[in-house]
Homo-oligomer: A and B are copies of this chain.
Amino acid sequence: MTKTPVAVLGATGAVGQRFVSLLADHPWFEVAALVASDRSVGKPYADAAPWIPDGAIPAACASMKVEGVPSLTSPEKTPIVFSGLPGGAAGPVESDLARRGFKVFTNARDHRMDADVPLLIPEVNADHLDLVKRQQGPGWIVANGNCTAIILTLPLAALHRAIGVEELHVTSMQALSGAGAAAVAALDVTDNILPHIAGEEEKLSTEPTKTLGRLEGDGVVPEPIPIHATCTRVGVREGHFESVHLRLKRPATLDEVRQRVAEFRGPPGVQGLPSAPKMPIHVLDAPDRPQPRRDREAERGMAVSVGRLRLDPDGRGLRFVVLGSNTVRGAAGQSILNAEYARAQGFV
């Protein structure tokens, strides 16, 4: 099987670097173009991108010259474009690339809520991928959700599909790497918590309902689960941690809840994809788990970890915590899994 050449957009930023890091030695994809802003164009990637991920910069990319968006002229050369562009800047660039025939897998927020753009987590809504056929073409855009939303959506999907969720409260404690390379000043989070992340609560309240929604007519009918969110920033490097309190639609036992979450799997076409975790959700029974530092790397960052499952005597009030890698499952890794699924299904 030949590898599909891919371009990484915004390659020098934190998300772009994570794309580059995860695509090193990928069995299906190979990085053929590193695209960034004018400031970096023409420089060797290693010089343009002060390397953030653990481990060394992939050798194959280190000496590649950074290109500008205009150099992306041929969808034959790089049919797939992974976009790590910042929100706001991403929108028009991605639209233009889709119009010119590229298949864009984006981590940016701009197109997430577009009616014809799937907000994809293959384990949850693989069927939404069909939405791309409604885009004008010849290329199209597939989005993944906000990091905090993806991590929440996995256990929510497991519970909602099996038992039903009536309403949900979530408080997040988000990691530094979610804010980009240099965005959170050390002075602000040392011995401190920041009680607000701009725009985050809105995303966390709406995106999961689209991913969990029903494909119908021209788009997705969002699943009507009220999600009430408070998002905070803490001094943890990587791994978003969320405290979830929800109300089930019918009484359940703790055993049933545990089993439904632990046994949650994607459809057959998803299991076995190169980036797909064996178990999307790890259920940890030790009362002091999950913890960001110990559990954020579960299945190379593609599995989320659920712990502290507690059920009210009425069998409906459920509380748990969920942790996931915000830069892998919550961002670049999700995009790559989406592209793997699209390729496996013949969309690419």
Contact = CB atoms under 8 A, between A and B. Distances in A.
Interface of A: 52, 54, 169, 171, 173, 176-177, 181-196, 198, 228, 230, 232, 234-237, 241, 243, 245, 287-294, 297, 307-308, 312, 317, 319, 321
Please tell me how many copies of the chain the complex holds. Answer: 4
8 contacts: A169-B169, A186-B190, A190-B190, A190-B236, A191-B293, A193-B291, A193-B292, A195-B289
Nearest to A52: B187
Contact of A181 (B173, B185, B287): B185
A293 B192 contact: yes
B288 A241 contact: no
Nearest to A307: B195
Contacts of A291: 192-195
Q: Which of A52, A173, A186, A194 has the most CB of B within 10 A?
A: A186
Contact of A187 (B181, B192, B289): B181
A308 B321 CA distance: 22
A288 B190 contact: no
A192 B228 CA distance: 25
A308 B196 contact: yes
Given A171-B243, A235-B235, A321-B195, A230 B308 contact: yes
Contacts of A54: 294, 297
A186 B169 CA distance: 28
B292 A191 contact: yes
A169 B235 contact: no
A234 B237 contact: no
Of A193, A194, A319, most buried by chain B (CB within 10 Å of CB) is A193
**What are the 4 closest A-B residue pairs judged by CB atoms, nearest first?**
A171-B171, A171-B243, A182-B185, A192-B293
A57 to B, nearest CB: 12
Contacts of A52: 187
Contacts of A294: 54, 192
Contacts of A181: 185, 187
Nearest to A291: B192
A287 to B, nearest CB: 5
A191 B292 CA distance: 8
B193 A186 contact: no
A297 B192 CA distance: 13
A1 to B, nearest CB: 31
A287 B194 CA distance: 10
A237 B184 CA distance: 14
Contacts of A187: 52, 176-177, 181-182, 184, 237
Nearest to A50: B288
Contact of A234 (B173, B183, B245): B173
